[in-house]
Chains A and B, each alone.
Chain A
Amino acid sequence: MSQDHNKSRRHFLGQAAATTAVIAPGITLMTIAQANQDQPHGASSSKRWGMLVDTNKCTDGCTDCVSACQQENGWGDGSSDESLSNPQQKAQWIRTVTIRDKQTGHTNQLPMMCQHCESPACVDVCPTGASMKRVDGIVLVDKHICIGCRYCMMACPYKARSFVHESLHDQKSNSPRGKGTVEACTMCVHRVDHGDQPACVEKCSSGAMMFGDLNDPNSDISKKLAEVDSTQIRADLGLNPSIRYSGI
Chain B
Amino acid sequence: MKRVVYSGIEGRSLGYWGLMGALGFFILLAAGSFLYMEHSGHHVTGMNNQVVWGMPHVFAIFLIVAASGALNVASISSVFNQKIYKPLARMSAMLALTLLAGGLVVLLLDLGRADRMITAVTNYNFKSIFAWNIILYSGFFVIVLAYLWSMFDPKLHKHTRKAGTAAFIWRLVLTTGTGSIFGFLSARQGYDAAIMAPMFIIMSFAFGKAIFMILLIGTYRYTDRSISADLIERLNNLFGVFVAAVLYFTVVFHLTNLYAAEHGDFERFILMDGGVYTFLFWVVQVLLGGVVPLVLIYHPAFRYNIRSLIAASSLVIIGGIAHIYGIVVGGQAFPLVLFPGKEVSSSFNEGVVNSYSPSLPEILLGLGGVAVAVALFLFAIKMLRLVPENLDAEHTENVTEVPA
Contacts and interface: CB of A to CB of B under 8 A. Distances in A.
A121 B128 CA distance: 10
Contact of A127 (B53, B130, B344): B130
Interface string B328-367: 0000100010110111111111100011000000000000
Interface in A216-248: 233-234, 237, 248
Given A97-B346, A157-B338, A159-B336, A127 B125 contact: yes
A123 B114 CA distance: 20
Secondary structure of the B side of the interface? loop
Interface in B150-206: 181, 184-188
Secondary structure of the A side of the interface? loop
A240 to B, nearest CB: 14
A92 interface: yes
Contact of A162 (B49, B113, B336, B339): B49
Nearest to B331: A154
B49 A102 contact: no
Interface stretch (B8-16, B20-28, B36-44, B310-318): B36-44
Contact of B125 (A84, A90, A128, A181): A128
A151 B130 contact: yes
Contacts of A151: 128, 130, 181
A115 B354 CA distance: 22
Contact of A156 (B187, B345, B347, B349): B187
B347 to A, nearest CB: 6
B129 interface: yes
B52 A99 contact: no
A126 B128 contact: yes
B113 A125 contact: no
Interface residues of B, number: 49
Size category, A interface: 35 or more
Interface in A121-135: 121, 123-130
A158 B336 CA distance: 8
B299 interface: no
A99 B43 contact: no
A84 B43 contact: yes
A190 B157 CA distance: 63
A234 B189 CA distance: 13
A230 to B, nearest CB: 15
A8 to B, nearest CB: 37
A129 B111 contact: no
A88 B350 contact: no
Contacts of A147: 111-114, 116-117, 119-120
A96 interface: yes
A86 B347 contact: no
Query: Which of A85, A101, A127 has its CB near the most chain B CB atoms (within 10 A)?
Result: A127
A54 B302 CA distance: 68
A233 B338 contact: yes
Given A99-B343, A146-B113, 6 more contacts: A103-B341, A121-B186, A128-B120, A148-B111, A163-B49, A165-B48
